[in-house]
Structure 1
Amino acid sequence: MHDAGDAVSLLRDGVVLLGFGLVFVLLFRRLGLGATLGYLVAGAVVGPHVLGLVGDAESKIGVAELGITLLLFIVGLELNPSRLWRMKQEIFGLGLLQVVLCGIAISAVVLFATHSSVAAALALGLPLALSSTAQVLPMLQSAGRMRTPFGERAFSILLFQDLSIVPLITIVAVMSRNPADANGPPGWLLFIYTVLAVGGLIVAGRFILRPLFRIIGNMGEREMFVFAGLFTVIASAAIMEALGLSTALGAFVAGVMLADSPYRHELEADVEPFRSILLGLFFLAIGMMLDLHAIAERPLFVAGMALALIATKALIIFGIGMAFRMPWRGALALGLLLSQGGEFGFVLFAQAQNALLIKPEAASLFGAIITLSMATTPFLMTITRRIRAQPVDSSDREGPVADGANALIVGYGRFGQTVAQMLIAQGIPVTLIDTDIEMIDVASGFGAKVYYGDGTRLDLLRQAGAAEAELIMFCTDGDQLSAELIDGVHESFPKAAIFVRAFDRRSLLKLKDAHVDGVVREVMESAVKMARLAMKSIGIDDSEINRSEEHYRARDKERLKAQYETGDLRAARDRIITQDARPDTGLGGGGK
């Protein structure tokens, strides 16, 4: 009966934790604050200091620490040698300077503010040098800056921070006051153990793991890939633990030794769901362990230290960015973006607590400081947007001029670039207009002259020579174009043929009454081409492929006509060709 009661209790705890985690993560994502913060707050709410719905956070964090192990394995998988070499200056220059300078400076601030020992100040200060990868990367991706020079620099620093978790764990182990650790091998022997263990894991990866994954790959058993991937991580961590070394280092090395293998992407995809779930559980458990009473007793200390953390990191990263010849606005943006504490701080605080370097109350206080600093980042980025934005004026951004071009192309993204290159190859002069400053700068590096300006304004089009142009082509993203705008362009510049890139079927409906010479749906032609190539590859002859394309286009045209006439997107749904309603067309396999 006792075992049954434990099972029921475990299920109840799981329901409560997952339910609260789901609600808070969705809420915090909607507010732009990130999933990590949502998990932490959810854990604090269900924990013993608020609602008291779930207890025994220590046992849960023991299981959840597997999430950290899997995270380091994935970080190792990311370290493809060619990618490391390409980004070596940013990773080992920017990243190393950021971790070292911020770690030393914040440790000094902690030492001054707490009057603790040097070892305790380092155990608290060094982890605070790390930023939140889980928060920053989604912010970069949502802003579309991941593949820009700014995004690459931010990613390089975050990558080095992820790498530095291993030496930081080692530093905490060396400073340990725990008798259990003291009875372990001396430091020089620990170093030899580490080198031998890493070397052994690399050899095992080359001569055991790669052949094993090759066999599994040939079998085509996806479940075995998952099983083997988890075995690799846990076995590497267990070997390191048996030697008294860092389990995180074992998982990291396991990832590195498979980073340039052909199975890297498969492993990453298989392990990622387990990492996400266990990492979420880890942060829930950390939230439960936060001593809210200790935090409530010293709210000014928590707020003041959070402010000091943000200011110190922002200033140092700003200075490093300037030293690496970044524009001051970009350096400021980088400093603010990485000014918060990160999820690895909680891991290192737990290590420091186990090493008897800090008390549980200190771990709770500084965990709250990390949490508060993470909450400020989205607001800091929002309120400083105008300061960070590159000013645009006639002195540094040239507006369009009438230069006799036959064609005006508004929007020089991936779509507009293709259109422009084909026209230029035919000898047609073009004028390119866009509002994306960063894209304009990148384009200039490839020899393309793109003018800054809003190409939907009639006065700017006139300034660009639209009155004499033969073609005006709107290649912009989204569906911001309207029938009224297109009609206004036609009335103002009647000599020009107007072509529009439509985002989707809804965009087409918006332009149904507009005076436009041609509308191209964004992905339709490329999708038709893929279908043709696919049919060709399985032996269908060209005449059948042509009939299939003609049949699809005819039905799509009928559907569009019905939608134009009714204004209803759901009109003529019977014209959609589906698996269960295939028309009897006489085409191969068409069905009856």
Structure 2
Amino acid sequence: MAIDLLYNVLIFLGAAVLIVPLIKRLGLGEVLGYLLAGVMIGPSVLGLVPDADAVLQFSQVGIVFLLFVIGLELKPSRLRLMRKAVFGFGSLQVAVTTALLTGLGLAAGLSPTAALVVGFSLGLCSTPLVLQLLGERGELGSRHGRYAFALLLFQDLAAIPVLAALPLLAGETPLAGGWPALAGEVLVAVAAFAGLIVGGRYLLRPLFRYAAATRSREVFAGTALLVVIGAALVMELAGLSMALGAFIAGVLLADSEYRHSIEADIEPFRGLLLGLFFMAVGMTAQIGLLGERPGLVLGLAAALLAAKWLSLVITAKAYGTGWRASLNLGALLSQGGEFGFVLLTAAGAAALVDPALVGLLVLVVSLSMAATPVLFQAHASLVRPLFKARRRRRDFDRPPQHGPQIIIAGFGRFGQIMGRALQGLKIPYTVLDINADHVEFVRRYGNEVYFGDASRLDLLEAAGADRARVLVVAVGDIEASMRIVHRVRRRFPHLRLYARARDRYHAQLLMRAGVTDIIRELLPASLELTREVLVGLGIPRDQAQHTIDTFRPHDEQALRRQLEAFGNEQRQMQTIQAAARELEELYEADEDIATTAPDRPSGRS
């Protein structure tokens, strides 16, 4: 059994490593590569992994993780703002597309019920495929990206009651107990939905706070997996969608200080399982039908793409979207989706649709999914430039860049002062701090602080380091500070680094690492207090300030000379002694300082 499992893992990894990079190098995206890899190893071609249905069922977990990560990006306030797009644009598109495809089904000779089921099933789009394409091109935040997500979310919600209604359309009793049993199932689903929201609201943060206190990355990652799978399982047992449960859990954590850490830990699982899902879709495609009736299969796939493209453009224009966004949506969402597989298979089992037609339509949906990356790439290359040439934006009309300009690593007393000043100037910034208790305390006062280790590159990426301009290393621990500096300079060379140094040794380490903007945390306060002590001794304030102003550049020069002797203790001592003598001579040579200084004992303190 273990050997068979390892064999299958080897086949999947080998196919992905060989085919996906090649397809991606051609500019066609990762999704098409995974689909083709699945076709090659599936039963229709090489037959290396025969049980495609079992793989597809397991790989649905990838969609669960995808929806959880999407939920993490959507704060409840933003979700409330999207409700019009979700229910307005989403319901309009589903209605128009279902009506168009149902009409085509009636024209092809299907019964009204079968035509309606087929029309709705084919009208659904592929959530992981579309979001993967948008993510690859960095267009999730664009206008068409936001509308696409709203539409996909509504479709996922709408598919659940339709799936439950299939037995009713087939003339069957929904449950063995009849309508009372159906009412009980509805109550269970509503209770599970409400329980997930209420429980997640009050239990998730304490759970992650407990995990963060262990300072174990494995425990924290395990907690994230527990939440995702647990939420998905609760909704599945209640008769709802696993993806919906994961999405709700993500939304509940979107305002949490642990959001970036959770996203960074979940991301590897999401990527691997989504790749497995697309490979499983390719494996289930009955390529033999394409060889037997290529004209029919390709013609239906082309008709599906054209009909959905037309319905999407019409819907988007009717909703008030411009031509550019409407055409983007048409090119992006014209394929069938994974929920279409589920609904068509269930309809075939309920004798609503002929099983032979179900197999044909599943292949058509698979081909439409495989064609989408190519069509979207062609659209981006051929259609979008026409709109760019026609419409030139003025410099001041460009939309603002999303994401923080500044990331502050460490939010102790040092970082908080900077944060207060930036907040007063309304300059956006993101804070990462590894102390979970400290993060929880600071957030009570309204500060936007996130729990996480800023030395982790995946966490920095999740926090927006690729878009930020400045990283402030305000971490007190010297080893952690240097780890952040070294990794950031290699991965994000565009970031300008400002660093807090605990002492001269720390400052020298930072300088050796190439950091030029350094503040020694005790130096400014020490010099200010020294000035006040001199004033207390009777020295005029302006002369005391002159003394401090003379000391500061000399100390900076001495620090640079000591840097040259770094690692050689004997040379370091000689340099320090020489700097002390130079300072005395500098003060003695300065008439303003010499004439106002109080009597000093001989020798050096």
TM-score by length of structure 1 reads 0.63
Deviation at 1:198, TM superposition (A): 0.6
Equivalent residue number for residue 459 of structure 2: none
- Select 2:211's aligned residue among 210, 216, 226: 216
Mark the CA change 1:73 to 1:383 in structure 2 (over 3 Å): closer, same or farther: closer
Matching residue of 1:280: 275
Equivalent AA in structure 1 for residue 56 of structure 2: I
Deviation at 1:214, TM superposition (A): 1.8
| 2:118 maps to 1:124 | yes
* Residue of structure 2 equivalent to 1:71: 66
What is the letter of the counterpart of residue 88 of structure 2? G
Alignment-derived partner of residue 103 in structure 1: 98
Identify which of 498, 502, 505 aligns with 1:538. Answer: 502
User: CA 1:140/1:197 → structure 2, altered by over 3 Å: closer, same or farther?
Assistant: closer
Any residues of structure 2 matched to 1:144-223 within 5 Å, and which?
145-147=139-141, 151-176=142-167, 182-183=175-176, 186=179, 187-223=182-218
Alpha carbons of 1:585 and 1:364: their partners in 2 closer, same or farther (altered >3 Å)? farther
- 1:590 maps to 2:559: no
Letter in 1 for 2:206: P
In the alignment, what sits opposite 1:430? Answer: none
Match of 2:233 among 197, 217, 238: 238
Q: How many residues align?
A: 433
Check the 8 A contact 2:39/2:283 in 1, yes or no.
Answer: yes
Q: 1:305 aligns with which of 300, 306, 320?
A: 300
**Aligned equivalents of 2:98, 2:561: Cα separation in 1:** 70
Alignment of 1:513-552 (within 5 A): 530-531=496-497, 533-534=498-499, 536-540=500-504
Q: Secondary structure at the match of 1:52?
A: coil
User: Whole-Å Cα distance in 2 between the matches of residues 145 and 441 of structure 1?
Assistant: 21
Aligned pairs for 1:160-559 within 5 A: 160-176=151-167, 182-183=175-176, 186=179, 187-352=182-347, 357-358=352-353, 361-381=356-376, 388-390=384-386, 437-438=392-393, 440=395, 442-443=397-398, 530-531=496-497, 533-534=498-499, 536-540=500-504
Q: Which residue of 2 aligns with 1:414?
A: none
Distance 1:294 1:159 in 2: 35
Please tell me the residue identity of whatever aligns with 1:205: G
Measure, in 1, the Cα distance between the counterparts of 2:274 and 2:511.
52
Query: What corresponds to 1:82 in structure 2?
Result: 77
Task: Looking at secondary structure, tell me which structure has more helix per residue.
Answer: 2
**Residue identity opposite 1:126 in structure 2:** F
SS in 2 for 1:587: helix
Give the 3 Å change call, closer, same or farther, for CA 529–140 of structure 1 in structure 2: closer
In 1, are the aligned partners of 2:60 and 2:277 still within 8 Å (CA)? yes
> 1: distance between equivalents of 2:33 and 2:515?
50
Looking at structure 1, the residues matched to 60 and 515 of structure 2 have their Cα atoms a distance apart, in angstroms, of: 56
Alignment partners' CA distance in 2, 1:200 and 1:328 = 43
1:443-486 deviation digits (Å, cap 9, x = unpaired)? 4999xxxxxxxxxxxxxxxxxxxxxxxxxxxxxxxxxxxxxxxx
Cα distance in 2 between the residues matched to 1:369 and 1:51: 21
Please report how far the alpha carbon of residue 175 of structure 1 lies from its aligned counterpart in structure 2 after TM superposition.
0.9
* Matching residue of 1:419: none
Pick closer, same or farther for the CA change 1:279–1:121 going to 2, 3 Å.
Answer: farther
* Contact kept in structure 2, 1:198 and 1:253, CA below 8 Å: no
The answer on whether the counterparts of 1:33 and 1:375 sit within 8 Å (CA) in structure 2 is no
Give the equivalent residue in structure 2 for 1:470: none
CA-CA distance at 1:203 after TM superposition = 1.9
Deviations 1:139-184 (A, max 9, x none): 555656554xxx2233322343134313303311221369896437
CA distance in 2, matches of 1:362, 1:193: 35
In the alignment, residue 372 of structure 1 is paired with which amino acid? L
Say if 1:132 and 1:167 are closer, same or farther in 2 by CA, change over 3 A.
Answer: closer
Seen in structure 2, the aligned counterparts of structure 1 residues 181 and 251 have a Cα distance that, compared at 3 Å, is: farther
2:462 match: none
User: 1:29 pairs with 24, 31, 34, which one?
Assistant: 24
Shift of 1:540: 4.3
AA aligned to 2:502 is I
The farther-off stretch of 115-124 and 179-188 is 179-188
Change (3 A) 1:22 1:344: farther
Asked if the contact 1:99–1:161 (Cα under 8 Å) also holds between the matched residues in 2, the reply is no
Q: Could you tell me how far 1:441 is from its partner in structure 2?
A: 7.5
Query: 1:334 aligns to what SS in structure 2?
Result: helix
Query: Kindly tell me: are residues 439 and 361 of structure 1, through their superposed partners in 2, closer, same or farther at Cα, counting changes over 3 Å?
Result: farther
Contact 2:76 2:252 in 1 (8 A): no
The more displaced of 377-386 and 44-53 is 377-386
Quick one: distance in 2 between partners of 1:287 and 1:315?
Answer: 26
Counterparts of 1:63 and 1:319, CA distance in 2: 37
Q: Give the stretch that moved more between structures: 345-354 or 25-34.
A: 345-354
**In 2, Cα distance between equivalents of 1:135 and 1:117:** 31
Structure 2: how far apart are the matches of 1:88 and 1:538? 49
Structural RMSD (CA): 3.9
Looking at structure 2, the residues matched to 445 and 362 of structure 1 have their Cα atoms a distance apart, in angstroms, of 50
> How far apart are the structure 2 equivalents of 1:537 and 1:185?
72
Task: Give SS of 1:206's match.
Answer: helix
Distance 1:273 1:528 in 2: 25
Percent of residue pairs identical = 39
Which deviates more, 377-386 or 84-93? 377-386
Q: Distance in 2 between matches of 1:318 and 1:99?
A: 13
Partner SS, residue 305 of structure 1: helix
CA–CA separation in structure 2 for the residues paired with 1:326 and 1:16: 45
- Match of residue 419 from structure 2: none
In structure 2, the gaps of 5 or more residues are 402-488, 518-559, 569-605
Provide closer, same or farther for how the CA distance between residues 250 and 325 of structure 1 changes in structure 2, counting only shifts above 3 A: closer
CA deviations 1:516-554 (Å, max 9, x no partner) are xxxxxxx99x979944x21x343449996997699989x
Q: Distance in 1 between matches of 2:388 and 2:278?
A: 43
CA distance in 2, matches of 1:213, 1:387: 47
Amino acid at match of 1:538: R
Whole-angstrom distance in 2 between the partners of 1:283 and 1:233: 21
CA contact (8 A) 2:189 2:239 kept: no
| 1:129 counterpart letter in structure 2 | G
User: Would the alpha carbon gap of residues 33 and 75 (structure 1) be closer, same or farther in structure 2, given more than 3 Å must change?
Assistant: same
Structure 2 counterpart of 1:275, which letter? R
Taking structure 2 as the reference length, the TM-score comes to 0.61
Contact 1:544 1:588 in 2 (8 A): no
Unaligned runs of 5+ in 1: 1-5, 398-436, 447-522, 554-583
2:162 corresponds to which letter in structure 1?
I
CA distances 1:60-79 after superposition (whole Å, capped 9, x unpaired): 33322222332333333333
How far does the alpha carbon of each residue in 1:247-280 deviate from its partner, in whole angstroms, 9 at most, with x for none? 3333333333333332233222222222222232
Displacement, 1:116?
Answer: 3.7
Answer whether contact 1:172 1:355 (CA < 8 A) is retained: no
Structure 1: distance between partners of 2:267 and 2:348:
29
- The verdict on how the C-alpha distance between 1:587 and 1:46 changes in structure 2, with shifts beyond 3 A counting, is same
Q: 1:37, 1:371 within 8 Å by CA — same for their partners in 2?
A: no
> 1:402-451 CA distances to partner (integer Å, 9 max, x unpaired)?
xxxxxxxxxxxxxxxxxxxxxxxxxxxxxxxxxxx3564734999xxxxx
Q: Distance in 2 between matches of 1:363 and 1:37?
A: 23
Query: Structure 1 pair 173/144, CA: closer, same or farther in 2 (3 Å)?
Result: closer
CA distance in 1, matches of 2:237, 2:399: 56
